[in-house]
Amino acid sequence: MRWATGGVNYSYLLSKLAPPSMTSANWIIDPAEPLEVKDQLSNHELHSITTIVNTHHHYDHAGGNVAFATLLTQRENPSFIIGSTLSATLSTSKVTQPNDGQIFDLGHNITVEAIRTPCHTQDSVCYLVKDSEKDDYAIFTGDTLFTAGCGRFFEGTGEEMHSSLNHILDRTNGHWDKVKVYPGHEYTKSNVKFIRHMVWKKIGDNKAFDHLEQLVLNTEVLTGMFTLQDELNFNPFMRLNDPFVRKAVGDDNNTLSEKDVMTKLRKLKDNF
């Protein structure tokens, strides 16, 4: 979505089945500008949504909750907003703020596990979706993890981002090459530009990154194209011990802690 407010955001409909057999236990994630999101949905899809889900409370993710709720005709569950009690909501009694590790069963072999990842905001949640029938995985990462980047540390520290990203890896251990990443924004182009200027400056420094850079040239929508393993290969915020990353933050002698590398790397990006 290109919001009228200027953001290049992603809003997601989470559903296993395609219309017309689509059933009514579907999630809409971060529908911040409801009318624009509605325009992208068929009637079947719109009517299949029972739950509005937010990755964090920022307005460009949660600001559409109240208006979107009025568009929904099926509300089986009074707690039909999952996200943060800080989100724009009808009333806080209708909000489920998920605990770390909380599981939601969507039926059709699909479960979603909430992974709390405080840093960008303290209420940031990533949602790990598992299809046990197909051995398929997806993670909706909001503004915590982007393709080849991570969110700004508005309410947290480098230490928190480092531990949040590792928390995601712990929860998905053994499946990194299967977990597709769906971030909250399309920032890949600018992330790639930053990385080429500051980290892997030459072709051949990181082959996975070279490949990503080529893809970015002629692909606009990159969400869902990469796995956590890809991020481990080309995302400098997940490669804090990579010698090129250390060099970028001025730590040629490898003396900084990982959390300090994280903090310095994010500062470089903030000022880029």
**Smaller CB separation from Zn ion, 59 or 176:** 59
Q: CA angle at residue 164 from 177 to 266, to 5 degrees?
A: 100
**Smaller CB separation from Zn ion, 151 or 158:** 151
Question: Closest by alpha carbon to 262, among 272, 229, 242?
Answer: 242
Q: How far is the CB of 87 from Zn ion (least distance, A)?
A: 12
The DSSP code for 227 is: B
Q: How far is the CB of 168 from Zn ion (least distance, A)?
A: 17
Q: Alpha-carbon torsion 256, 228, 101, 117, what sign?
A: positive
Long-range contacts of 195-198 (CB under 8 A, 24+ apart): 195/148, 195/234, 195/236, 197/272, 198/248, 198/268, 198/272
**Smaller CB separation from Zn ion, 58 or 116:** 58
Q: How far is the CB of 158 from Zn ion (least distance, A)?
A: 17
Beta-carbon count within 10 A of 74 CB: 15
The DSSP code for 89 is: -
**Smaller CB separation from Zn ion, 61 or 239:** 61
Residue type, 202: K
Q: What is the DSSP string of 106-147?
A: EETTEEEEEEE--SSSTT-EEEEEEETTTTEEEEEEETTEET
Give the whole-angstrom CA distance, residue 137 versus residue 234: 20
Q: How far is the CB of 29 from Zn ion (least distance, A)?
A: 13
Q: How far is the CB of 143 from Zn ion (least distance, A)?
A: 4
Q: How far is the CB of 23 from Zn ion (least distance, A)?
A: 31
**Smaller CB separation from Zn ion, 57 or 167:** 57
Q: How far is the CB of 229 from Zn ion (least distance, A)?
A: 25
**Smaller CB separation from Zn ion, 50 or 87:** 87
Residue 15 main-chain phi, psi, to 5 deg: -150, 140
**Smaller CB separation from Zn ion, 136 or 155:** 155
* Length reported for the chain: 272
Where along the sequence are the contacts to Zn ion (CB under 5 A)? 58, 143
